[in-house]
Structure formats: C-alpha cells, structure tokens
Chains A and B, each alone.
Chain A
Amino acid sequence: MSDPLIIDDLERGQFKVARRSFTSQAIFEQERDKIFQNCWLYLGHESELREPGDFVSRTVANQNLLFVRGRDNEIRAFFNVCPHRGATVCREKKGKAKSFQCMYHGWVFKNTGEIAHLSGEPAYAKDFKDEGNCNLRSLPRLDQYAGFYFISFKQDIEPLPDYLAGAKDYLDIVANQSSAGMEIVGGTQEYSIRANWKLLVENSVDGYHAESTHATYLDYLMNTNGSLSATRLAGKGYDLGNGHAVIEYSAPWGRPIAQWIPMWGEKGKEELDQVYAELVERLGEDKAKQMATLNRNMIIFPNLVINDIMAITVRTFYPTAPDEMMINGFALGVADESEWRREYRLSNFLEFIGPGGFATPDDVEALEHCQRGFQAAANAPWNDISKGMKAKQASFDDELQMRAFWREWNRRLSTEEGVGHE
C-alpha cells in the first residue's frame, strides 16, 4: 500500500502507527468487518452461569447477546433478537429464567432457544415452526477455554485453542489459582471513554507509563504503612502469537494470591503461606512461584484484557465510533477464598483499577488527550511504538506487546476481501 498504516522497520529500530488509525471512519468500518466479525470475542465466564436457567445479557461488538445455561445444563449463546420482528427478547441484565418472552408480540422461547409458544399459531402455516426459523438464533460459534467463553460471528473461524496460541498458558495461570476454580465477583464496572478502543489496548499492557501517569498511586502505596514489599518492578514482555501479548513482572504491591505485604498482618501471612504451600503441592515450585509472585497484563486480540496484578481484572471493550468505546470491567476472584482475602482483593482492585480508583481516571485523561491530539494527524501523522525494538528480550516496560497487537491488526486490515480470510 502506498499509504501505510504501520511502519515496521526492524533495521532502524522504528515502529510507527499512523494516527488516522484512531480517527478515520473508514478504518472504523473496516475494523468492524475485518476484525470484530472475524475474531473470537470474549463473552463471559462460566461462573456467571452456575445453574440451569441462569442468564446474562451482554453487548459484544455492539450486538445484543444472551448467554444462558439451558435446562439441559448446556451453555449457549444467542443473538438477543426476536426472530419475528427483531425486538430485544431479554431486557434484564441477568437472572434465572425457564423461558424468555418477547414483549412485542408475545413469542416465548425456552432457555435452550427453541420456540415454546407462537402466539396466534393457528394463523400460521402448519409447518411454520419446523425449520427452526422461530427459534432464537445461535451465535455461529461458541467455545470456552479455562472457563472463559468466547463467541465468533464467523462460522469457519479456526478453533479457539489455535486462535489463542501462546495466550493459553497465561489463561491457565489465571484459571488455576485454586483447585476450587475462579469466579466473577458481583458488580460490573461499566463505563465509556471518549477515545479510540486501540488506545485502551495499548494502555492495558503498557509498563512504561506507570511512573508518570500513576505517580499518585505509587505515592499512595508508599504513604500507606505496610502496603509495599521489598520487591522491585522488573520483568519481561512476550509476543504470544496471533496478536496476543503479555508483560510479566514482579512488583512491590500485595497480591491476594500469595504475595504478602506487612499490612495484611501475621494472620494474613499464615494464610497466604498456606495458599502458597498448596500451590507448590499442586503445581510444583516453579509454577507456584510464577503464579503467586509475578504480575501479568495480557491482551488477547482484539479486545480482551486480563490483568492479574494487585487483583485480577477481566476487561473487554468495543468501539461505537472512532472516538468512543464501551468498556465492561469485572473482578475475578478465587472461588473458595476467605472473606478476608476477598475483601482485600476488592479493596486492591478498586484502589487502582476502575473509574473511581487512584489510577484508571488518569489513564482515561491520558487516552482522551491522545484522541484530541490525533486531530492534528494531517501534519503530525505518526505515533511511536519503538521502545525496546532492538532488545534481544523485551523488558516489561518496552513496547513489544503493543507491536504484536499492531502487526496483527495491520495484517487483518490489509486483507483484500471484505470479510477477511486467513
């Protein structure tokens, strides 16, 4: 292409992204067709649907979906759209239901998706329901890995495990923190940012910005007696393939999975020592140490972030316009942890992460100001993502993980077909 979106010059150690990637309506539309229609996208976690009939309605890439465990105990995903005339069928955010009734003309669907009651049925042809046209429409694909459910709008997409590539190992680390499993804690952080969605991808795996953007958070930890261990910030960045990437690093803050800080007291230490011993027994010393003491910020292409830091956040987002995104943030916790650990996990979470924390509001400010800056793209056209490009092993505060995302983004947008193909 004569007008590239990315300059990837390994020899000179330069990686640049055109700022119009964040502002152009045409690129926004290409992303919708070539990325969001063609990838595996996060829908929800298995712990959100514990019993038959449990459901969650959720918007993924602007489309209303229904995530439900049917009476046969099987988990399904439907378009939350009436096959009759298109109204949203389930208008509640979550709950338990044997069936769902569309408010418009009263069609009723079982929690397995089949039509249960077609109002005014005698007026329809005899075999009207037979071909399944009256059932809720299933997503073309639904699959899960380690309890994380993904959907795809594309029928012939590669299997989820292949798509996840190296990210599987890191999902395992998040999912195996207890033999009792993991669970989404109630309460969702639902917000929007007046910025392009890819700015949040970059920000979520950016080890470089902490010292300046989050100066007040680091001050806070230092001011609060006993909130820091002696561990220093250090670590590495990895390209996990297919646009996924992770940074893995040690940090001084407490982690409710077994990185103790003095604030948690002797009793807390005893409990975390026990947790750690259980991890060693179950997974071996190396894995236990990695799981307990290292932090991970991971992007799963294109729009799932799992940050296993002072708490675990599962964050997904999608664009509604080039300069606006919708975000859902969830806290993931160990299913059988004590009340004490759960309380500290939530406390750690909202202290740093989320719209009322001591850090995320400053990220939002930064992202919105980047978006404003991009208005000058005609004369100041390039973002720089070169940090650590010549390094043999990227550091956690280099920008390798962002380059991994951008290369995949660029590859998908460069495909000629309207609906891209591998």
Chain B
Amino acid sequence: MNNIASQANLMRFFQVQQFLNYEASLIDSWQLDTWLDLFTEDGSYFVPPTDVAADEADPTKHLYYIADNRGRLQERVIRLEKKTCHAEFPRSKVQHLVSNILLLGEDEQGRVLVSAAFLVYRTKNGHSDVFVGNYRYVLEERDGDLKIASKTCNLALDGLRPQAKISIIL
C-alpha cells in the first residue's frame, strides 16, 4: 500500500490528510474539547522518551513523557482549560505543520495505520520552541468519520532542550 497510487487509496489519503489538518487546526485554535471528541472512547495519546528506540518503547516498561489513556487525556484537556494551568496561562501561540503523510495499511481490525511528520511551534514569553518528529496514528472509521484510536508522537529530538516541557498538545 505504501507506494501504490490507486483511486481508492487516493480517496483514503485525502480523507486522512483532511482529518490530520483538521485535528491540527483544533489544537492550534485551542478548541481542545472538540479535539478530544476526535478520539475513540478508549483512545490514547503517547509521547515516548527520546533515548529509547521508537519500535522498542513500551509505556508499561519505559518512562514516557506522556502516556494518556482516554481518562487522563480528558483530564489533560480539563487542566489546559484552567487559569491555574500556569504553564499555559496566558496561552501559548501554537502552530502545527503536518506533512509527509503516509498510509501504512490496515491492522487486523481494519483500522487505518498512518505515519506523518510534524513540526509544532510553541511561542510564549518571547521564546519560540520547536517540536519535530513523527506521528503514528491508528484511525478507526465510525459512520464515515475517522476517529483516533491511538496517537503516538515520536520526537526526533535529543530530549527537550531547550523546550523544557510539553505543556501543549503535540
């Protein structure tokens, strides 16, 4: 599937591209409740460590930066909407650039596996920090819409220097 351009793939590609761009626009405009609704009821969100290979990292065995099940993801959104979430009050300016979208195929449950590259700029207090890396998505089709079953953000960084924190959604 990786390099076969068929008409069916073209439609799927367009659907995925539109979906990822829509997701990014929701994060950038701080519509995080709507963003949360993009996840399935058991959806998860991960940012693995930068000193463990992406294909070896396991949140039950390694210390991740973020390993949210749906419950904690919801709490993350609730927190980000509070004034007492000091790291994001006042809010950062956030801009995602999503590119290199690649359809990797489907898993045994027919879910769509997607890889994409990201650049995320976070600007606050006069500093612009850049997060760069690769997304791995597992997307589920529900009534014609895509939903995120899992989103993993593999940072192409040596740690968070100078970013210090991942206080926004990548």
* Interface residue ranges, A against B (CB under 8 Å): 93-94, 185-194, 213, 215-216, 219-220, 223-224, 324, 326, 330-331, 339, 342-343, 346-347, 349-351, 354-356, 358, 360-362, 364-366, 368-369, 372
Contact = CB atoms under 8 A, between A and B. Distances in A.
B77 to A, nearest CB: 11
B161 interface: yes
B123 to A, nearest CB: 14
A357 to B, nearest CB: 8
Contacts of A356: 47, 64-66, 165-166
A362 B87 CA distance: 5
Contacts of B72: 351
Interface of B: 47-52, 57, 59-67, 71-72, 75-76, 78-79, 82, 84-88, 125, 127, 158-167
B71 to A, nearest CB: 7
Given A346-B67, A361-B87, A362-B85, A187 B160 contact: no
B62 A186 contact: yes
A194 B127 contact: yes
B49 to A, nearest CB: 4
A363 to B, nearest CB: 9
Contact of B166 (A93, A186, A355, A368): A355
Contact of B84 (A94, A215, A347, A364): A215
Contacts of B47: 356
Q: Which one of B49, B161, B164 has the highest number of Cβ atoms from chain A below 10 Å of its Cβ?
A: B164
Contacts of A372: 125
A346 B64 contact: yes
Contacts of A360: 165
Contacts of B165: 191, 355-356, 360-361, 364
A224 B75 contact: yes
Contacts of B125: 368-369, 372
Nearest to A367: B164
15 contacts: A187-B51, A187-B63, A189-B49, A189-B159, A190-B159, A192-B159, A193-B164, A215-B82, A339-B60, A350-B64, A350-B65, A356-B66, A356-B165, A364-B164, A365-B87
